[in-house]
Amino acid sequence: MTSIIRATQRLTSIARVSFDSRPGERSHSAWSGSGRGSVEVSQDHDGLRFHEQGRFQLARGGAEVAFRNVYRWALHEDHIGLYHERRGAAHAVWLFDLVASVEYDVLVARDVHLCGDDQYSARLTLRDDGVDLDWRISGPRKDEWLYYRYRQA
């Protein structure tokens, strides 16, 4: 069974998310902190959608804010595309395509995705109880690391 098939099977059973956001030295963002929430998975003709909601706690100042996101995982035979649908499916933002790596149970961004001057890359690691998705966003004003942990119920 290929890592794409194994990833697809894991993604269909996700129920919760936790993540850490860590800005690097060049970041102009104050979004350092941790979040936790629930994931409702829906399936349409164009892929799986993760409807995420929860709370994010800023590292500095301890303020807590609510978050909501929709990510679409477009499932293909040779890759999985990830799209951010925060503003709806008609305005989806493509983030990257994940392809099988030489490492077992690991998918990586096929190419660095350019969004203006920013570059997005990622690595997805299959776990027994879900997947880990590690992102890197770099650019003139961005230097961000995002560590997502998607888990089954």
| Tally of structural domains, the chain | 1
Task: Quote the percentage of the chain above a pLDDT of 70.
Answer: 99
Can you give the pTM of this predicted structure?
0.89
Q: What is the pLDDT of residues 81-99, one digit of tens each?
A: 999 998 888 899 888 999 9
Which residue segment(s) compose the domain that 117 sits in? Answer: 3-26+33-152
More confident residue, 24 or 71: 71
Q: How confident is the model at residue 30 (pLDDT cuts 50, 70, 90)?
A: low
SS (HEC) of the chain: CCHHHHHHHHHCCEEEEEEEEEECCCCCCCCCEEEEEEEEEEEECCEEEEEEEEEEEECCCCCEEEEEEEEEEEECCCCEEEEECCCCHHHCEEEEEEEECCCCCEEEECCCEEECCEEEEEEEEEECCEEEEEEEEECCCCEEEEEEEEEEC
Specify the CATH number for the domain of residue 142.
2.40.128
Average pLDDT for the chain:
90
